[in-house]
């Protein structure tokens, strides 16, 4: 998946997030029910001043796929677990979730009571009302939560390929189109593969804990149809210390395998255990648990058939310079499980054409970005990893392996380093990786031409505050903001394109893009330098530990302009935004991705397009339409016929 959290540490984020949720719960979620309090003989006036935090997971307004598996948990601050009563649609929860064997705990001794039901399902479509009554210090408190259970109609797609360019906002797409295709007299000289999709929509990105998301949380929404929290994937955050025991929700790979025996795959230019790919197969509150993620990829139920990207260190023991869980040799275990294994482009090309299970690990960490791998080939950057495959190559090989499954396949392809280059504000490297991403989409489009039952979705998980402010033409010794041409002075860029592969001949040209940033640390900007090696914007202030100042290396010969920070001094890179991101789709079911949609709706569009139905013996919905409720944009005329009223 994608970016590393620049600040604070993942544990710090979790502590801060927990405090924020508790505060909001006291003010809004926890309710003192005067009628119930009065029943127990407590004066109503005094009851109105009391508050108790009641938390139910899944959260209020969650959508749940009929027959899908999830964990249900209730936490009540200050309550003993045997003083928590739960009803679901008017039935005692033990009766409603028959055979679930709830576990009652005091996770925080004397301060919290919990009731947990593992691996439950709800079969009947429609609204589900959850009521919690907790007795604390002789007073009773009540809160209600509502879920909507949806059952899919018959789908038309056999295969789904989901492309995610991590951090790709609208400005990144615009810059990619300008650099890759060119623009003359205000008209583009060509369009990207992603531009040519039949449907285009807009995705909101927030999680349930914060306005601004990270890649784990946002990818989890795509993979499960449920909101999560920063750093979390496939879970709802609970109050335990263990990051792997939080309430789980079934993800698309698990559903595809359990209900339809589909082939599944994950491809990324980042560590393949990083947030975005991991969210489609793993369950953890802490995205940094990459060794744990690697080990879970081997587990039945969510083992992808194709796994390709970086991050080999998480699969190898210490003796092989690895950092795997329990010092296991997971590469050997995958090989023993029937996987063809590749560590280089050459080895990938040499895997048997008949191989349907592939493990490709091409770097110990994130794979090198396109500009360093194919353009400069700088040995200081590449090190020993001089033979890495491209994202289009990995995409094509993954499709070849997965397409042999008669039940169809689900494949997620991520351009992880678009985000990883936007964080240090290296727009050239980010755009080059986005061009590579678009070329990978072209590979899938060519497959789709021969296999029209394939749905292709292209999106991002979140955006960055990059903006094209004009063009940059140094003249009369001017640099930085003084050399930016605005309005009629913003001459069209002068990139040349004789290569024929979508990339410009050189990123250095007389007139280039002027790119600005809205949320950044202090940094130097000279406008035109394309760094020979990846370079961060800031360094730690030697005078004040834990704060950052502009790195003078980004001001060659002292020509850079110092740009003051717009974020706290403790932040050392550009950070995510709450901006909406685009979604484009082509193929059967693509109409679901039109209009304004929540990030969880991408999951629903996928399962609706496939017609996944866990209640049917073959996993295929016999229903004529979606029942139980709605998802997506109800104002979207293309999608409206696919919805049934609750």
Structure tokens at 151: 């059952």
CB 285, CB 237: distance < 8 Å: yes
Structure tokens at 486: 């605005």
Instruction: Look at the chain and count its residues.
Output: 646
Task: Determine the Cα–Cα distance for residues 345 and 361; give it in Å rounded to an integer.
Answer: 10
Structure tokens at 632: 């997506």
In a 13 Å sphere around the CA of 120, the CA atoms on its Cβ side amount to 22
Task: Determine the Cα–Cα distance for residues 442 and 439; give it in Å rounded to an integer.
Answer: 5
Task: Determine the Cα–Cα distance for residues 624 and 519; give it in Å rounded to an integer.
Answer: 48
**Exposed/middle/buried for residue 610 (C-beta within 10 Å: 0-12, 13-18, 19+):** buried
112 is annotated as an active-site residue: no
Structure tokens at 48: 């109105």
Catalytic residue among 68, 112, 215, 590: 215
In sequence order, which residues have a C-beta less than 8 Å from that of residue 53 and are 6 or more positions away?
22, 25, 26, 29, 30, 75, 76, 77
Shortest CA distance to 97 belongs to which of 105, 107, 106, 86? 86
> Going edge to edge, which strands form the sheet with 54-57?
54-57, 70-77, 112-120, 103-105
Shortest CA distance to 214 belongs to which of 427, 1, 11, 63? 1
Catalytic site positions: 215
């Amino acid at each position: 998946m994608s970016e590393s959290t620049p600040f604070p540490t993942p544990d710090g984020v979790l502590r801060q997030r927990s405090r924020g949720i508790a505060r909001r719960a006291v003010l809004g979620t926890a309710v003192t029910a005067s009628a119930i309090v009065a029943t127990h003989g407590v004066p109503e006036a005094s009851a109105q001043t009391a508050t108790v935090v009641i938390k139910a997971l899944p959260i209020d307004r969650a959508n749940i796929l009929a027959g899908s598996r999830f964990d249900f948990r209730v936490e009540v601050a200050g309550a003993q677990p045997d003083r928590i009563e739960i009803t679901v649609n008017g039935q005692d929860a033990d009766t409603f979730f028959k055979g679930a064997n709830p576990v009652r705990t005091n996770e925080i001794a004397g301060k919290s009571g919990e009731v947990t039901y593992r691996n439950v399902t709800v079969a009947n479509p429609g609204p589900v009302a959850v009521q919690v009554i907790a007795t604390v210090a002789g007073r009773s408190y009540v809160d209600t939560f509502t879920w909507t259970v949806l059952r899919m109609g018959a789908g038309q797609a056999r295969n789904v390929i989901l492309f995610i360019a991590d951090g790709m906002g609208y400005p990144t797409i615009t810059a990619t189109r300008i650099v890759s295709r060119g623009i003359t007299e205000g008209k583009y000289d060509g369009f990207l593969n992603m531009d040519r999709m039949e449907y285009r929509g807009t995705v909101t990105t927030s999680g349930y804990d914060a306005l601004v998301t990270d890649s784990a949380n946002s990818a989890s929404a795509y993979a499960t149809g449920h909101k999560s929290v920063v750093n979390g994937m496939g879970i709802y955050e609970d109050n335990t210390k263990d990051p792997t025991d939080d309430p789980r929700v079934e993800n698309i790979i698990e559903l595809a395998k359990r209900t339809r025996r589909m082939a599944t795959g994950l491809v990324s230019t980042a560590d393949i255990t990083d947030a975005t790919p991991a969210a489609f197969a793993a369950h953890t509150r802490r995205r940094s648990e990459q060794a744990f993620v690697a080990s879970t990829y081997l587990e039945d139920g969510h083992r992808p058939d194709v796994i390709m990207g970086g991050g080999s260190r998480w699969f190898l023991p210490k003796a092989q310079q690895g950092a795997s869980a329990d010092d296991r040799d997971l590469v050997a275990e995958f090989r023993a499980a029937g996987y063809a294994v590749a560590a280089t482009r050459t080895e990938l090309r040499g895997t048997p054409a008949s191989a349907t299970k592939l493990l490709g690990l091409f770097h110990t960490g994130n794979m090198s970005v396109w500009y360093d791998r194919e353009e400069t080939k700088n040995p200081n950057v590449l090190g020993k990893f001089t033979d890495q495959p491209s994202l289009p190559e990995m995409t094509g090989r993954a499709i070849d392996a997965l397409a042999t499954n008669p039940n169809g396949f689900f494949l997620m392809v991520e351009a992880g380093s678009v985000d990883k280059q936007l964080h240090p504000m290296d727009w050239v490297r980010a755009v080059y990786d986005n061009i590579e991403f678009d070329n990978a989409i072209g590979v899938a489009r060519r497959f789709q031409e021969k296999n029209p039952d394939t749905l292709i979705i292209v999106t991002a998980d979140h955006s960055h505050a990059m903006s094209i402010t004009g063009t940059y033409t140094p003249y009369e010794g001017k640099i930085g903001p003084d050399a930016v041409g605005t309005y009629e002075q913003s001459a069209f860029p002068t990139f040349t394109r004789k290569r024929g592969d979508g990339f410009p001949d050189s990123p250095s040209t007389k007139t280039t893009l002027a790119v600005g940033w809205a949320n950044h640390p202090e940094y130097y900007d000279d406008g035109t330098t394309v760094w020979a090696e990846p370079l961060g914007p800031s360094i730690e202030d030697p005078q004040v530990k834990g704060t950052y100042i502009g790195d003078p290396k980004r001001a060659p010969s002292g020509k850079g302009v110092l740009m003051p920070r717009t974020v706290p001094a403790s932040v050392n890179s550009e950070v995510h935004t709450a901006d909406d991101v685009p979604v484009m789709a082509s193929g059967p079911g693509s109409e679901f991705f039109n209009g304004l949609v929540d990030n969880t709706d991408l999951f629903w569009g996928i399962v609706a397009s496939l017609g996944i139905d866990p209640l049917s013996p073959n996993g295929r919905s016999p229903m004529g339409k979606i029942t139980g409720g709605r998802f997506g944009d109800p104002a979207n005329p293309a999608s409206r016929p696919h919805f049934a009223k609750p």
